[in-house]
Amino acid sequence: MANLMAVERALSLSRLEPYVKAAGAGLAEGVRLYEWNIAISAAFFEVLAHFEVTLRNALHERLTVLADREAWWSAPGLTFTPAATDMIDKACAEMTRRGTDGSTGHVVAALPFGFWVGLLSAGGRCNYEMTLWRPGLRRAFPGYRGTRSALYPRLNTLRLLRNRIAHHEPIYRRHLAADHDTIIELTTWISPGFTSWVAERSRVPALLAEHPLSGSPRCDDQP
């Protein structure tokens, strides 16, 4: 009990309260759910990291071909949304601040997950459908036969999940099995050979089997 009270003081009652209520019991059960939420978040972050690197490498490759240069962001023929342009500027500025050589690889690695997902959006006035998707980015998903408009929401769901994890927010109410399936399926569309490697190493299925709440996971706050 002394340890539980220390946990409550350190993490705060307001942070633990949703977990206690969800567990439907006392503080000990709420802390157990909190611990599981941290563990499943860490496991998801691993598979999301694999997917993020796979996605950005595939899109970078197609953008390089489309722009006919590795530093595709500087190609006069490509136009990005103001938000995407701001992300590119910040990535380049960060390379300057660090004193790196500002190589293509450094800039690509510095661009956030949201940037890459955003390239599959409609793109507003930039009309990514016609300027990026059809002439090039669709080839980054050789196993996919659907539309960009159907692909983007699935990618954006993973972006939202990643953001929740990065900000240490609860994810236990999500349909986490479906989230995991989405990551595996999207990875398959990009690199089917790599998917088995990711799936074999994923800790998510084992942790889902240990979900503290009976009848879970069932989403009520997704995405």
pLDDT, tens digit, 9 for 90 and up, residues 161-199: 999 999 999 999 999 999 999 999 999 999 999 999 999
Question: Are 23 and 33 contacting, i.e. CB atoms less than 8 angstroms apart?
Answer: yes
Q: How many domains does the chain have?
A: 1
User: Nearest-CA neighbor of 120 among 84, 71, 92?
Assistant: 84
Question: Does residue 158 form part of some domain?
Answer: yes
Quote the CA–CA distance of 169 and 151 in Å, as a whole number. Answer: 25
Q: For residues 128-139, give the mean pLDDT.
A: 98
pLDDT for 223 equals 47
More confident: 26 or 141: 141
Q: What is the DSSP string of 16-44?
A: HHHHHHHHTS-HHHHHHHHHHHHHHHHHH
Question: Does residue 192 form part of some domain?
Answer: yes
Listed range (49-58, 89-98, 110-119, 208-217) with the worst mean pLDDT: 208-217
Question: Does residue 185 form part of some domain?
Answer: yes
Q: For residues 67-89, give the mean pLDDT.
A: 95
Quote the CA–CA distance of 56 and 102 in Å, as a whole number. Answer: 17
Question: Does residue 5 form part of some domain?
Answer: no
Share of the chain above pLDDT 70, in %: 93
Tens digit of pLDDT for each residue in 3-60? 999 999 999 999 999 999 999 988 999 999 999 999 999 999 999 999 999 999 999 9
User: Nearest-CA neighbor of 147 among 124, 180, 121, 172?
Assistant: 121
Question: Does residue 221 form part of some domain?
Answer: no
Quickly state the pLDDT bin for 104 (edges 50, 70, 90). Answer: confident
Question: Does residue 70 form part of some domain?
Answer: yes
Question: Does residue 197 form part of some domain?
Answer: yes
More confident: 197 or 99: 197
| Mean pLDDT, all residues of the chain | 93
- CA atoms within 13 Å, Cβ hemisphere of 188: 10
Angle 131-133-138 from CA coordinates, rounded to 5°: 150
Range of the domain at 128: 12-208
User: Nearest-CA neighbor of 168 among 13, 15, 50, 12?
Assistant: 15
Quote the CA–CA distance of 181 and 154 in Å, as a whole number. Answer: 11
Backbone φ and ψ for 102, nearest 5 degrees, come out as 65, 30
